[in-house]
Chain A
Amino acid sequence: MSVLVYTENWDGKFKKLSYELVSYAKAVAGMTGGTVTALSIGNVDQDELSSLGAYGASSVLSVAGLPEGLDNQLYSQSIAAAMEKTGAKVLVLANNNTGKALAPRLSVKLKAGLASGVTAVPESVDPLVVSKKVFSGKAFGKVKVLSGSAILTLAQNSYEINEDGGSASVEAFDPGVDAAAAQTNIKDVQKQTGKLLLNDADVVISGGRGMKSGDNWAPIEELADVLGGATACSRPVSDEGWRPHGEHTGQTGKIIAPNLYMAFGISGAIQHLAGVSSSKCIVAVNTDKDAPIFESADYGIVGDALKVLPELISEIKAAKAL
């Protein structure tokens, strides 16, 4: 059973996410001795494309000439054309904004059942049965795909990158779509530059109402800096306007799974925990010893975040200096 994986690039470079996706696709294909074809849309150079071989792709299809901004119809038509060309029975995408935009359209187009936010390789491939998060991570559900082919979107940071493959052959692929038919007219693009994105960060430092004011965020930012991480916040904080909405982590905000998540002055409402509970290690500092965050945390301090933070920063600096 061969697998097609849709990879994303940022300004011509693949990121960790793409390697996770290819590694995952390889594991799925490996269940039946099939091969992995990676699909790349956009201007990516030959070396970068063939580097996907290291993660398990045996070939890479490279599509050029589509509009750079996402047009859901053109992109899904192109991916469908690649599915047809390769005869793949399984399509893998990321469960991010792009994957969420494309996978459902492809599900209809290919009559392929969609399991979104999967966290592990399928437990069987015929029929395909795979586990995914439901109720925003409060539980898992086993989805059985009833159609002949399947689409899986992989939850971010849920699969280990495997780098034991070789190099992939690269082929230019013309999906036969009319780029001029794009319906999405992109008027303006604003990209953050030089700032680590919340979903990419291995370390996330987060503050809640216990920080008392948006003016008290300097130590959160400093600690994130010291650990090479990103900053986040709880919902009341973004609702109050102390921090931008893009930092809100939780059920209705960003769902993250860093290696280390540190929560300062966050009580841990069930909706907040749904967004962070997949983190590998959770550290919580809160004045209330009965705060629910301590049920989900690995390490905890009962204390005032504003007092603990400066001390923690200096201790971490000291420890890192050794």
Chain B
Amino acid sequence: MRILVCISNVPDTTTKVKFSTDNTSFDDGGVQWIINPWDELALTRAMELKEDASNGVSNVTVVTVGPASVEPTLRKALAIGADDAIRVDGSSNDAHYVASQIAAVAGKGDFGIILCGIESSDYNGSAVGGMLSEIMNVPSVSAISGLTMNGEEVTITRDIDGGKEEVSVPTPFVGIVQKGIAKEPRIAAMRGIMMARKKPLQVEAVVDAEALTEYQEFAMPEPKAPCKMVDADKVKELVHLLQNEAKVL
């Protein structure tokens, strides 16, 4: 079975977010780019599944939609262990446009499992995975915190409000993963980084697709009032403030 992992190229999660002077776009000056944390966990799990030969995973491919400048992030994914990478040469903040591009790639590849992170840490859309499944007309399972294989049979643990469910769906399907799917994201070793340079990275042209949304403007949250400090030996005063000033007790 072949696995496809969808990768989003996002600013490092420690980035101090800034926008252009007219507030219409993200200011990427000095930003470090990373694999979206949930996608990184999905990739880590895909590699674990491939390494256990009894699962019969023959290949792990990563795909992203973006300009040439996102290729270092795809190389990182190859260094972590993906066999090959595909970059769709387009650029959009709209999830429907992005999902349509990935669907075109996924439709050509005979993938049994397609994994996406549950959201990206930049625009927090939580949309591409679900849209992809609907465009491809295949089942989707969301909020996945565990995925195991027994031959071709896939068993999924998904989070529901107040608990967990164990489910299975026929392949191919889109798995939308969250924390828990892998314990920690895998870090590329030097050997992986060397090998990644030689692995195939294919560039595909965009297909026609509709954008259903666009960002008009961005804003920073209102600055908040400074923290009121209370002495460590005056805990009673804190309780008084919480009760009478904040009125939260």
Contacts and interface: CB of A to CB of B under 8 A. Distances in A.
Interface of A: 8, 10, 69-70, 72-73, 76, 95-98, 100-109, 111-117, 129, 131-147, 153, 183-192, 195, 197, 199, 203, 227, 239, 245-246, 248, 251-253, 259-260, 269-271, 274, 277, 280-281, 283-284, 294-304, 307-308, 311-312, 315-316, 319-320
15 contacts: A10-B161, A69-B165, A102-B130, A113-B96, A139-B17, A142-B218, A145-B212, A190-B165, A245-B179, A259-B248, A280-B248, A294-B227, A303-B232, A307-B232, A319-B249
Nearest to A289: B229
Contacts of A227: 249
A319 B243 CA distance: 8
B140 A105 contact: yes
B6 interface: no
A281 B248 contact: yes
B128 interface: yes
B29 to A, nearest CB: 15
B221 A139 contact: yes
B129 interface: yes
A141 B215 contact: yes
A187 B165 CA distance: 7
Contacts of B135: 108
A299 B214 contact: no
B236 interface: yes
Given A140-B221, A189-B165, A72 B133 contact: yes
Contact of B242 (A109, A260, A274, A311): A260
Nearest to B230: A301
A317 B13 CA distance: 39
B162 A299 contact: no
A142 B217 contact: yes
Interface core residue of B11, B118, B119, B125 (most chain A CB under 10 Å): B125
A41 to B, nearest CB: 14
B124 A134 contact: yes
Interface of B: 11, 13-15, 17, 19, 37-38, 95-96, 99, 118-119, 121-131, 133-135, 139-143, 145, 155, 158-170, 173, 176, 179-180, 184, 210-221, 224-225, 227-232, 235-236, 238-243, 246, 248-249
Contacts of B99: 104, 108
Nearest to A99: B126
Given A10-B161, A142-B215, A184-B141, A134 B123 contact: yes
Contacts of A135: 11, 15, 17, 121-124
B249 A186 contact: no
